[in-house]
Amino acid sequence: MPVRIRIEHTHLDIDNGFVHFSYRDYEADGQQKEMRLPAVEFMRRFLQHQEIDASIGFKKGQN
């Protein structure tokens, strides 16, 4: 079963290429915790949960 967390957007901070944020860990009785990730890793994880609009076409070789 995947672990679900909810990021508290009001506690999001970006500093020197790192993202600091608070979240609630519902596997630990909703305890509030903090995490620090490199910005690229934060974006990678965040974008995994975004839906892609299928109407946008991607063509090979275009940047």
pTM attached to this predicted model: 0.59
Q: Which two tokens stand for residue 13?
A: 């901070």
pLDDT score at 60: 65
DSSP-assigned beta bridge partners for residue 20: 13, 36
Per-residue model confidence (pLDDT) at position 47: 82
Report the distance separating Cα 41 and Cα 44, nearest Å. 5
Contacts of 5 (CB under 8 A, 6+ apart): 23, 24, 25, 26
Per-residue pLDDT at 52: 67
pLDDT string in tens for the chain (63-residue length): 455 656 655 678 888 999 998 888 888 898 988 999 999 998 888 888 776 665 666 666 655
